[in-house]
Amino acid sequence: MSVAKKQYKRVTTKSLVDMKNNGEKISMLTAYDFTMAKIVDGAGIDVILVGDSASNVMAGHETTLPITLDQMIYHASSVVRAIERALVVVDLPFGSYQSDPKEALRSAIRIMKESGGHSVKVEGGKEIKESIKRILNAGIPVMGHLGLTPQSIYKFGTYTVRAKEDKEAEQLKEDAKMLERAGCFALVLEKVPAALAKEVAESLTIPVIGIGAGNGVDGQVLVTHDMLGMTHEFNPRFLRRYLNMYEDMTNAFKKYAADVKAVDFPNDKEQY
């Protein structure tokens, strides 16, 4: 089905609900720095996620747990400086919102004030309901995140597909409803069966954005470095690579090294 796209000069939380209502799918990608954010925004991607996946991608940690609130603010403020159109969502990092609602609000306020981001994302369902409400009461838009929630990786023990069993699927559906009732403007569903994700998307009025959740949802998100093929050792089934930048960059670096060694770079035209 082809959908006539409405032009959004600036994407807001309301635009995303409009897109869902108009049957227009939402595109979302990660960015953690100015240069990448400028390219992603210029390409017309609707939502830029300053994900705590920066912990893996930018800092080389094994999990998302080590990244701090200060580091997220640094990444987010670099991204915000590049943006002209996209909605910027910033992950609240592990440990900055789980302990109590007041701390959650303080962390969200720091993100909004110090980075200029437009909204925050939190992982989890009923266990963080009070924190979500407290943040929303301060007028800060919140995106939820259910299914595979990488901040809980040590509880799950594995990165495999979530909610395959009925009990977990029922809990996920309840949590999704709760997030909508609480006032979240959208929800990420990560690595859950496509049929379940479709059912959740159809049962909610807020947009559901999937990663490894099939195409029955309202939009898709990928980690930019993965879809560009820069992180070649990460190969989940849901990942489509649009470039093979690992290979292209390696070849460029090798060529540069060879040119330097051969005193071919710089040439006469490349000097003063």
Q: Which residue ranges make up the site for ligand KIV (CB under 6 A)?
A: 30, 49, 51-53, 91, 188, 190, 211, 221, 223
The answer to whether 268 is annotated as binding is: no
* Cα 82 to Cα 205: distance, rounded to the nearest angstrom: 31
Q: Which residue is nearest to ligand KIV (CB)?
A: 51
CA distances from 95 to 36, 52, 100, 133 (A): 27, 12, 10, 17
CB of 167 to ligand KIV, least distance (A): 24
Report the residue number, 62 or 268, with the smaller CB distance to ligand KIV. Answer: 62
Q: How far apart are alpha carbons 19 and 185 in whole angstroms? A: 13
Nearer to ligand KIV, 29 or 196 (CB): 29
* CA nearest neighbour of 211 among 121, 85, 83: 121
Question: Least distance (Å) from ligand KIV to the CB of residue 149?
Answer: 8
- Closer residue to ligand KIV (CB): 26 or 188: 188
Rounded Cα distance between 163 and 233, Å, is: 26
Of 199, 143, 145, nearest to 169 (Cα)? 199
Residues in Cβ contact with 225 at an 8 Å cutoff, skipping those fewer than 6 apart: 30, 57, 231
91 is in an annotated binding site: yes
The answer to whether the annotation marks 121 as part of a ligand binding site is: yes
Q: Which is nearer to ligand KIV, 83 or 209 (CB)?
A: 209
How many helices (H) does the chain have, and how many strands (E)? 11, 8
Provide the minimum distance between the beta carbon of 188 and ligand KIV in the complex, in angstroms, as a whole number: 5
- Residues identified as active-site: 190
Task: Extract the tokens encoding 150.
Answer: 């990488």
As measured in angstroms, the least distance from the Cβ of 121 to ligand KIV is 7
The residue to which tokens 């609900």 are assigned: 17
The answer to whether 96 is annotated as binding is no
Could you tell me which residues are annotated as the binding site?
52-53, 91, 121, 123
Could you tell me which residues are annotated as the binding site for 3-methyl-2-oxobutanoate?
52-53, 91, 121
Could you tell me which residues are annotated as the binding site for Mg(2+)?
52, 91, 123
